[in-house]
Amino acid sequence: MKAIIFDLDNTLYDYRDYFYQVFLKLSEYFYKRYQIPKDEFIKTSMEILNKRKSRYPKLFNEILNVLNIPENEVKFCVEIFTSGRFPIVPSDGVYEVLDYLKNKNYFLGIITDGNHIRQREKIKSLKFENYFDTVVYTDIFQSPKPSPTPYQYIISKFGINPKLSYYVGDDPDVDFRGAKFVGLNTIRVLNGEFIYKKKNKFIDYEIKEIKEIINIV
């Protein structure tokens, strides 16, 4: 069986859209509780996110510190962030590509790091349930990328032929090493916060837009 397996964040949608929705929700709470202007909260939060990037473990701590909000509110911020219940949309061309691949009888999967509750809610918001045959949440396996474990799981469980299959991601540091270890072809989408990172030996193709996948597979 041939398959296309995708990363989620920054590959199929813009992670900044999710963070913006989180900050919007938090701005309403902090305005009511501390009279922090909503626009100021969102602007400051986005500036810190753009500077520190999405994997910065102290993101909310720094936002609260800059805005002079008590640090004990971090727990609430994390709860909102983890809930995942926000309106987000796929990147341009994603539905078109998924329709094309389904019509070509590709098995479609997602491997995603992060809290599985949050990631599952994102997939619902993106209306991906009917497109993908399986979703692997690496925190359940306790084997986040670049571990080859989640890639091998999909290949073994569903009888995937890696030589005829592809993994699509965006981050050279974590997305492709495990995929190449199990024999998958790899495609990097050049967008999102990791666009500045250099290509490495685990990446076979680089594309600027997701719809270019159609020209490769």
Across the range 170-185, mean pLDDT stands at: 97
The pLDDT value recorded for residue 85 is 86
**Cα distance between residue 60 and residue 63, in whole Å:** 5
The pLDDT value recorded for residue 84 is 81
N-term to C-term CA, the chain:
14
State the pLDDT confidence band at 178, using cuts at 50, 70 and 90.
very high
For residue 194, what are its two tokens? 């990791």
* Residue 31: pLDDT over 90: yes
CATH class of the domain defined by 3-14+88-215: alpha beta
The pLDDT value recorded for residue 181 is 97
Contacts of 46 (CB under 8 A, 6+ apart): 16, 19, 20, 23
Helix ranges restricted to H, the chain:
15-34, 38-52, 59-66, 74-83, 94-103, 116-125, 138-141, 149-158, 177-181
Cα angle value 16/92/185 (rounded, 5°): 90
The pLDDT value recorded for residue 134 is 97
The pLDDT value recorded for residue 24 is 98
Domain boundaries, the chain: 3-14+88-215, 15-83
The pLDDT value recorded for residue 102 is 97
The pLDDT value recorded for residue 192 is 87
Contacts of 144 (CB under 8 A, 6+ apart): 113, 138, 174
* Residue 90: pLDDT over 90: yes
